[in-house]
Amino acid sequence: MRVLKNKFAPIFVMFLLIGAGAVAASAQDKEQEKPGNDRPVVVYYYDPFMSWDRWWYDPYMDDPYLRERRSLYYRREAVRDARSELREHLMEYNEDGVITADEREELNDNRADLNEARADLREYRRDQGYIDYRR
């Protein structure tokens, strides 16, 4: 019996150590779940004229045709934005049926912005050689 104790005691101790190591290793792999969502929020901005393959390279600045199309797009967008702002203010100010002096001044500013954006677009188109059929 003594011989069995002397032979199996070190083997038993080795199994215990290996088992304890396996338990400790499996405990290190588990990740703790935190309550709530701690992930950052990513907001994407869409620019229709920006290349998506390399964010630092803008081909619309190198190509004259694409640069012209981009300039025309932004000038048209300026006219569209000025027109929608004027329309929104007209609808808002006409709800009560009375336009005050402050509202009239704001509408005049909106009309001036719209006329300026239209003149800028018209001048750009004339400089680029577009034909204006409205004359």
pLDDT reported for residue 79: 97
- Average pLDDT score over residue span 80-96: 95
Question: Is residue 47 one of the residues assigned to a domain?
Answer: no
Question: Is residue 69 one of the residues assigned to a domain?
Answer: yes
Listed in sequence order, the DSSP H helices in the chain are 2-29, 64-93, 101-128
pLDDT reported for residue 102: 94
Domain that includes residue 87, residue range: 63-128
Q: Residue 71 in contact with residue 63, Cβ under 8 Å?
A: no
Question: Is residue 58 one of the residues assigned to a domain?
Answer: no
Question: Is residue 29 one of the residues assigned to a domain?
Answer: no
Q: Residue 114 in contact with residue 86, Cβ under 8 Å?
A: yes
- The number of domains in the chain is 1
pLDDT above 90 for 13: no
Q: Residue 89 in contact with residue 106, Cβ under 8 Å?
A: yes
Question: Is residue 46 one of the residues assigned to a domain?
Answer: no
Question: Is residue 51 one of the residues assigned to a domain?
Answer: no
pLDDT above 80 for 49: no
Question: Is residue 101 one of the residues assigned to a domain?
Answer: yes
Q: Say how many C-beta atoms besides its own lie within 10 A of residue 116's C-beta.
A: 13
pLDDT reported for residue 38: 61
Please give the model's pTM, rounded to 2 decimal places. Answer: 0.54
